[in-house]
A and B are shown apart, each in its own frame.
Chain A
Amino acid sequence: MSAPAASIPAGSLRAFLALVGAGYRRFSTYRQAALGSAFTNAVFGFLRCSVLLTVAAAGAGGTLVGYNPAQLATYVWVSQGLIGVINFWTQLDLVERIKSGNIAADLLRPMDIMWMQLATELGRSLFGLVLRFTLPITVGAIFFDLYLPGKPHVYLLFVVAMVLSVLVGFLCRYILCLLCFWFLDIRGFWTAWVLCSGLLGGLQFPLPVWPDWLVTTLWVATPFPLLLQGPLDVLVERESGAVIGLQVVWLVILFGVSRLMQGRALRKLVVQGG
């Protein structure tokens, strides 16, 4: 059996968009919880921003590894907003569906399970843009001087990088959740992912704080810096097209890996009769 077809037939695009809409509506019923999370993101914005600005103020020329205070503030507050859009730490529904065996029902649907999961997650991200992205950034803008790029095309590049980072984040999580086909309980892997995506993605500190050899290795060999560090560097004008190029390369790699794994997983499922 070959890997399931990975393309969406043209007629399915409407179904896909409908699923995105359904995902959006589903998550928008948790508006209060989103407000609570946005509040938490704002508190962490204060904590991280204060620490980094204090360190910068004591450092050479009032900068921290080349970021001036306004760039640092933008870096921190936008990263807190991005958490709710990329949703790195939320497990996909897939895990529950595999554990409960409901995955068998999904396989009967005319749409590939990957596209179904992606649609739901895109719906979640869209809803994340409404409250979880805007609220922390607004709070940051009120209490701190944020760096605002002057050239309009930077914003456009940032939006592209953000969309790509949502997709990279999705594929990473999708691959982890597929592991559930082999190991019923993936909590250990997930803890490892939460650790790496935050720390190596640039959530606690911008990556250049780390030793140079490590930063280079991370950029070259892992997708982690593309989750937050990449898009944020685009926004504060330290990087531009290169980030997007790298994101596209990783998307292709991760996509290939996930298709391969999915093919094997489903074959295993068919062979074992669920």
Chain B
Amino acid sequence: MANPYVKLLGAQIRSQLQYRASFFLDLSMATLLSAVDIGALFLLFRVTPALGGFGWREVILMTAISGAGFCMADLAVGEIERLKHYIRTGLLDTVLLRPMSALGQLLVLDFATRRAGRVVQGTLFYLVALTVAPVKWDAARVVYAIVAPINAAVFFSAVFVTLAAIAFWWIESGDIANAFTYGGRDFTAYPSTMFHGWFRGLFAFGLGFAFVAYLPALALLGLSEPIGLPDWARWCSPLVTLVVVLIARATWLAGLRRYGSTGS
């Protein structure tokens, strides 16, 4: 018997294709939207030779890791930010009445197919960036080059889930999650050295965003971290991601438990 998640996903895509014209316009616009983000980087390099002490060939690798990872996460779990809506309309109850995982169902129930174009575009851009950037290729770096965007995707997915779960406690939270999801993407698209003081401390290390693209890119480029992190820290991204995933899991489960006891 076919996997029920795959079946649900297929149904979701079929119902989106009912509005075909709008769907394809949306698909192309969403793809363009992320291409524009990359263009923006080149605009900045028109007026400055270096960003945070790095040349464009180096920064482009960070932007590409962050972009590819974010697109994948956004495609896979981005719609989880609609949790508020699911709680309000009672869809979450329907989901809980089926013999499947609640998170798994929510992800496929509102799968945003129109974001698929971005993943293709983000991946292509990453491949280009790998050839343009002065990567010090060796066996470990080949592995890390494959791991880095996937790691970024898992990291962002965990951030999406954690922040969406806030709705279990605070349903009127507005778009506070965007500060860390889209905000996180903006932060990780640049070297962390562009930011200063407590703000950098909080985003780069407190929330771990330095480990998404900045540090893996430095590892691939064979550059030391100028703020003063030891060289081995550049290779620790998957560990940090693991911690973030565990936090996301705990938050989500606590949220579901809370929903079970308050029903709202």
A43 in contact (CB, < 8 A): yes
Verify A40–B176 contact, CB threshold 8 A. Answer: yes
Write the chain A residue with the least CB distance to B176: A36
Query: Would you call B29 an interface residue if the criterion is a C-beta within 8 Å of the partner chain's C-beta atoms?
Result: yes
What 1/0 flags go to B195-239 for Cβ under 8 Å of A?
110010000000000000000000000000000000000000000
Does A37 lie at the interface of the complex (its beta carbon under 8 Å from any beta carbon of B)? Answer: yes
8 Å CB contact of B183 from A32, A40, A185: A40
Q: Are A43 and B43 in contact (CB under 8 A)?
A: no
A82 to B190, CA, bound (A): 25
Question: Which chain B residues lie closer than 8 Å to A204 at the CB level?
Answer: 40
Residues of A within 8 A of B91 (CB): none
Task: Give the nearest-CB partner of A32 in chain B.
Answer: B172
Contact A205 B40 (CB under 8 A): yes
User: For residue A184, which residues in chain B have a CB less than 8 angstroms away from its CB?
Assistant: 19, 22
A113 vs B178: C-alpha distance when bound (angstroms): 33
Contact assessment for B199 and A183 in the assembled complex, using a CB-CB cutoff below 8 Å: no
B4: chain A residues at CB < 8 Å are: none
Q: Nearest residue in A to B28 (C-beta to C-beta)? A: A188
A65-B47 in contact (CB<8A) = yes
The answer on a CB contact under 8 Å between B29 and A40 is no
User: Which range holds the interface residue count of chain B?
Assistant: 35 or more
Q: Tell me if A210 is interfacial: C-beta within 8 Å of chain B.
A: yes
- Whether B264 is near chain A, meaning CB under 8 Å from some CB there, is no
The answer on a CB contact under 8 Å between A64 and B47 is yes
Q: Which residues of B contact A35 (CB under 8 A)?
A: 174
Interface of A is mostly: helix
Min Cβ gap B110→A in Å is 14
Asked if A186 lies at the interface with its beta carbon under 8 angstroms from chain B, I say: yes
Using known A-B contacts A43-B183, A192-B29, A195-B32, determine if residue A37 contacts B174 with beta carbons closer than 8 Å. yes
State A115–B190 Cα separation when bound (angstroms): 44
Q: Is the C-beta of B46 less than 8 angstroms from some C-beta in chain A?
A: yes
- The interface residues of chain B lying within 8 Å CB-to-CB of A59 are 47-48
Bound-state Cα–Cα, A39 to B44, Å: 26
The yes or no answer to A209 lying at the interface (CB within 8 A) is yes
**Stretch of A49-57, A122-130, A250-258, A259-267 at the chain-chain interface:** A49-57
The reply to whether the CB of A213 lies closer than 8 angstroms to some CB of chain B is no
Contact in complex: B174, A32 (CB < 8 Å): yes
Among A30, A191, A199, A211, max chain B CB count under 10 A is at: A191
Residues A187 and B47 in contact in the complex (CB < 8 Å), given A37-B176, A44-B186, A54-B194: no
A-B contact pairs, 30 of them (CB 8 A): A30-B172, A33-B173, A35-B174, A36-B172, A37-B175, A39-B176, A40-B178, A40-B179, A40-B183, A42-B179, A43-B179, A43-B183, A44-B186, A46-B199, A47-B187, A48-B186, A51-B194, A55-B44, A55-B51, A58-B49, A59-B47, A64-B47, A64-B48, A65-B47, A186-B22, A188-B28, A191-B33, A192-B25, A209-B47, A210-B43
